[in-house]
Amino acid sequence: MKLKLLLIVMVTGLAAQAQTSWTIDKSHSNIRFTATHMLITDVDGEFRNFDATMVGSSDDFDGAQVEFSAQVASINTGNERRDGHLKSDDFFNAEKFPEISFKGTIEKEGADYFLVGDFTMRDVTKKVKFDLDYNGTMNMGETTKAGFKVTGTVDRFEYGLKWDRAIETGGLVVGKEIEITCNVQMDSK
């Protein structure tokens, strides 16, 4: 019985030691979005201030715990007037809801990867499942780097981004489906 208990403690200890913590390399990562404008063109934007961590014990990242946040006030679409409107209560309300966040896991289904968890904007949290491309790892001696690309869409109305001016021919000035693309490089600690 004591031997069995000792083995359980050893296996549990080894599993805990196998956990690897990762932080985002901000200089080699970006958090971007695309919205359709007036049904005829796409407008891109990004968040310049963001952070992410990941903890996992699997070499292929299956089951890794991921946390992400972006500061709404760091939004940049290349147009100050539009950025100001996006920070207002019509959209993000950066003053009252300063952060967009995600908390969840990487899930592997066959050869496909997904980022699954809770996505929060304007204090509204919804379950999401984004596509995830795992681009591999590279050992750099003191650290290991891992590359990922996250893609998916969210319905902005579900998160309270309520501005919905219509155009004469029908449709919205700003589309309701927002495409998200994140190119992320993580560094092991």
Residue count (the chain) = 189
Q: Which two tokens stand for residue 83?
A: 């950025």
Closest CA to 102 of 134, 57, 54: 54
Q: How far apart are the first and last CA of the chain?
A: 38
SS3 167: coil
Q: Give the residue among 35, 71, 15 at the shortest CA–CA distance from 179.
A: 35
Query: Domains, the chain, ranges and CATH?
Result: 20-188 (2.40.128.110)
Pairing of strands 30-37, 174-188: antiparallel
pLDDT at 5: 43
Q: What is the pLDDT of residue 58?
A: 81
The answer to whether the CB of 161 falls within 8 A of the CB of 174 is no
Cα separation, 130 vs 175, whole angstroms: 19
Residue 159 to residue 128: CA distance in whole angstroms: 12
Instruction: Note the pTM of the prediction, 2 decimals.
Output: 0.84
**Rounded to an integer, what distance in angstroms lies between the CA atom of residue 123 and that of residue 161?**
11
pLDDT at 176: 75
What is the model's pLDDT at position 2? 52
Q: What is the pLDDT along the chain (189 residues), one digit of tens a residue?
A: 554 444 443 444 444 447 999 999 999 999 999 887 656 678 889 999 999 999 998 888 999 999 999 999 999 999 999 899 999 998 899 999 999 999 999 999 999 999 999 999 999 999 999 999 999 999 988 899 999 999 999 988 888 877 575 556 665 546 677 899 999 999 998
Q: String of b and e for 152-186 (b: at least 16 CB within 10 Å)?
A: bebebeebebeeeeeeeeeebebbbebbbbbbbbb
101 is written with which tokens?
């966040």
